[in-house]
Structure 1
């Protein structure tokens, strides 16, 4: 395993940090974006690490996300020690005080229409990505730049990396998309064709509109001067006219049409080195995109790193900062630090109480034993024995669910990889939403709940709307389903259909005596007492009669329903 454990420091004395605020970056259409630039005071040409987004370059992490800040400090007590005061920490971006001393320029850009950057606020639009390309080209030609720009950041700051890298900016040299979607429709907006509105309904007002340029009601103040982080105040009328209505646009585009496609990169066009970092605990936003990005990026040099925990803590942990720096030291500085010998896949293999890190050479793992576990509706079991008799079981879509449970595992068993589900279903109506949840229980029947990217989470999840069952055969593989989402195909009431459902990848070592349970229901799965964030409750999308009926699941020799588990043989 070549993964570093501590950040590698340059042999020279640490560089002194210079902070330049509200630096102007010209765009090709005459607009100007504002950026914060942190660079070494010592003359020279240095590599650049950059992020551009809508969350406010001057909003301190603690001011914008107080609970997460407090949790991060508990998890990482040295966050504001050992070389960093934490003064410049911003949500989901790097800490300049930990990068500039190692000879990097750090740039944080307010996207057009956000923070200090005037203009029309249109998140995730083609114009925003064109601006990002212009900002990269600007950074690559400054007197303090060595002409190599790397991109790094979490979530929004990761999703935009995939897109701008596909434009191939001249000075872009490497990217580190950390937990960020690459497919605007499938990873984020519509899970299996079902609109995901829970996150969007809070994200839009709290993280976007609060940071719109000119928002005089923003709750955020720049800690340097006490002024609003959004610049001079504009009227409510002008603010409304100066932004898109992103949630409404999302609702208008229920199929994977041109609007979604222009917000989704052609991953094959990405040519720069990639370190894609995903989270096993991120089904719904921070998982699928990183694996798909890694697999489909055109880059000759690319790496996948999968971790656990909340979506922000790993990014700031010393061992992961070391990983980021080793990658950038090699590709932005040209240091012969051994990164080129790093295996292409670095995995946190999840356990019931933590993780182990392991290097691999491909994903999915070549030694995977793809094993079918059949659903037996007659006795609610899930096992490797193929059914010999037909059976069915049903549930009311909005009130009930079905559970299929394995026998206790006889030996410790690892599953790591994709999990396709073939399930035969009928509905009393002309459509049905399926929410599939894979869960883990100990010998006493207690469920194992994992600390996920956004919220407590089961092992993993999947979704599919029956009318979106059309599969894109060109993009699909035997172990990974890819739905087209380009037309609505209603079903006939009472007629059984085979549906291929994509349950998002996962990793877990199942102890002896533990059981897996597959829960199938017609609404969001939530733990008792815990309100989920990544929910699908938009009445305009799910309120019709088609989603209020009775759903029936079938099993048997002619209608075999089965879950395919990626079992990894024990070493030796």
Structure 2
């Protein structure tokens, strides 16, 4: 176990941190450009057929793709050499096998890079599964302001984006497997997004790896974001030789947690990701599926991980501040039936935490135990450790708990009042608060704490709403901490206030009764119920988990506002960074200059710009009315943590 007292990064951008509030603008079928969009029938696991959109993306030669020369070969990367200027030198010799072919169950051939010790021994292996490119690729930390807190010399540059650093792991006796999944770069087939086909491709690759002469038969998986989502899905297919996973922030339900969160079709995140993919073939046009399949159907059911099948050991790492991954990471931990599972909630960001020395060492202890058979007392590691954020003060880090949600949670209701306050008691008389949808900040409700209070866990808004001038409403709700003067408190890392959000398209307000809990309502999204003039309806809006400390005199503010699309310039400029690597070979002696080449430098390059998916029209018109008090006792339910 390790402790970090402070979050030191002054500027960090987490992938998706500004995406959750809207959809990416664009054009579709621009004049003079032929569309590349096609549909293909896809048979789902239940036997039903869905027509799925596909389109062209970047070519592997595109500058933004930052691809490598395709060549199946082996070489020794010598200790002391570096991959790129400023990167960490290798501490040992590494046998690098490049573009190794792997044949999948249907005959499709994909290609993987393998980094392993230079010996004849059998080793445990860790696979990092994604389509981003096994060598640099369309996304790279240098594209992100401040490299998200990861110094250049913290890693060797051998790692694929969001994956484990081969230089570290090979030095400790591991093999790192970095595949380009189906359709990515030179891998055969069409590039797809998660689901059963993608998961079984990962399963095939794990079983292939376990049969290699260098394998001890135990394969693990690791990585952030897409690489975490892949772990949930691949582990759900139960590969025989997958021995342990380490999901480090990633969603489990693509429809509810990113694409159509709250029932609002949001192509921004998949469109952003799509723009970084490179393929010789077609790419699943998930942005178009987002705006054309706006209810939970067989297509989206296939994009839900089979958590119920995961019984292997899992070391799960979460945070409260990732609007793409927070909910799914906690849901994954809660729902997998594995008896050997651990949760750690950090207080920085997914990339910074993943590459810091202490978490890396702890992850190795986990894998040493379950992949290497080392008796190292890993199982004595506390099963749940959390952080509690405290902007303006010092965060709590690595506090040991029994479970999540915390067993000592007491859910309390704060009732919305007509004077825009929150109170422990509902108002006796019914009233309303309204705002025009042209007012982007909507309306807010505030309360002041009369004693130090911790709110850690799931929050929800139960409200009575009415649309004046429309038959639907699209809402965003958020909670945040204010100082004693009612001012926002900037986060130490980003300089922005920490907010926890929820979303709802009111016509999709019906809940899934099997999946919902009192503290975490889950939408069914199987039908639309449009509003009638003057109709007041109750809604439950899930606000993703947060751990926050409020001191006496500080304030909690709830904001309810009309959902609106953000400016696309708020997303990281993936592909912009110019990455310099050797023109020949793979690593070089920094004391002996060699010819170099530059990759990247074009964040606007898109495979088929005429086919970028546009923002769906807003359903917000006229005025939103919130009913409070009397028979309309709208409230914010918060998770109050009793002092031990």
Identify the TM-score tier after normalising by the shorter chain: 0.7 to 0.9
Larger RCO, structure (CA 8 Å, separation 6 or more): 2
Unaligned segments of structure 2, at least 5 residues: 5-90, 573-611
* Alignment-derived partner of residue 464 in structure 2: 424
| Mapped contact 2:221–2:244 kept (Cα < 8 A) | yes
What TM-score comes out, normalization by structure 1 length?
Answer: 0.85
CA distance in 2, matches of 1:176, 1:519: 35
* Alignment-derived partner of residue 36 in structure 1: 113
* Alignment-derived partner of residue 235 in structure 1: none
Cα deviation, 1:484-520, whole Å, max 9, x if unaligned, reads 1111111222111110111111011112221111110
User: Residues 252 and 100 (structure 1 numbering): CA distance in 2 closer, same or farther, change over 3 Å?
Assistant: same
Pair 1:363-2:438 in alignment: no
Pair 1:375-2:416 in alignment: yes
Pair 1:165-2:235 in alignment: yes
Higher mean C-alpha displacement, 335-344 vs 424-433: 335-344
* Alignment-derived partner of residue 489 in structure 1: 529
1:187-198 mapped onto 2 (5 Å cutoff): 187-198=257-268
* Alignment-derived partner of residue 397 in structure 1: 437
* Alignment-derived partner of residue 426 in structure 2: 386
CA distance in 1, matches of 2:423, 2:361: 43
Pair 1:441-2:482 in alignment: yes
CA distance in 2, matches of 1:47, 1:144: 8
CA distance in 2, matches of 1:557, 1:336: 62
User: Residues 4 and 390 (structure 1 numbering): CA distance in 2 closer, same or farther, change over 3 Å?
Assistant: closer
User: Residues 525 and 308 (structure 1 numbering): CA distance in 2 closer, same or farther, change over 3 Å?
Assistant: farther
Cα deviation, 1:25-70, whole Å, max 9, x if unaligned, reads 1111112111111111132111111012111001269x83424374
| Mapped contact 1:405–1:515 kept (Cα < 8 A) | no
Cα deviation, 1:515-552, whole Å, max 9, x if unaligned, reads 1111101124979x99478xxx9876343xx4213110
CA distance in 2, matches of 1:502, 1:449: 24
Higher mean C-alpha displacement, 307-316 vs 108-117: 307-316
CA distance in 2, matches of 1:498, 1:177: 36
Alpha-carbon distance, 1:557 to partner: 2.5
What TM-score comes out, normalization by structure 2 length?
Answer: 0.76
Cα deviation, 1:300-354, whole Å, max 9, x if unaligned, reads 2112222233331111111211221121111111222222122221212111155
* Alignment-derived partner of residue 40 in structure 2: none
User: Residues 547 and 524 (structure 1 numbering): CA distance in 2 closer, same or farther, change over 3 Å?
Assistant: closer
User: Residues 323 and 355 (structure 1 numbering): CA distance in 2 closer, same or farther, change over 3 Å?
Assistant: farther
* Alignment-derived partner of residue 89 in structure 1: 159
Match of 1:248 among 281, 288, 300: 288
CA distance in 1, matches of 2:637, 2:240: 43
| Mapped contact 1:57–1:115 kept (Cα < 8 A) | no
Alpha-carbon distance, 1:157 to partner: 0.8
Pair 1:338-2:377 in alignment: yes
Match of 2:512 among 466, 469, 472: 472
Cα deviation, 1:61-113, whole Å, max 9, x if unaligned, reads 9x8342437434xx354x526xx5x2313311111111111111111000111
CA distance in 1, matches of 2:442, 2:422: 12
User: Residues 451 and 55 (structure 1 numbering): CA distance in 2 closer, same or farther, change over 3 Å?
Assistant: farther
CA distance in 1, matches of 2:163, 2:496: 23
Unaligned segments of structure 1, at least 5 residues: 6-13, 215-238
Alpha-carbon distance, 1:480 to partner: 1.3
Cα deviation, 1:278-300, whole Å, max 9, x if unaligned, reads 221112x1101111111111212
CA RMSD of aligned residues (A): 2.5
Alpha-carbon distance, 1:249 to partner: 1.9
Pair 1:569-2:642 in alignment: yes
| Mapped contact 1:439–1:448 kept (Cα < 8 A) | no
| Residue-pair matches, total | 516
Match of 2:214 among 120, 144, 151: 144
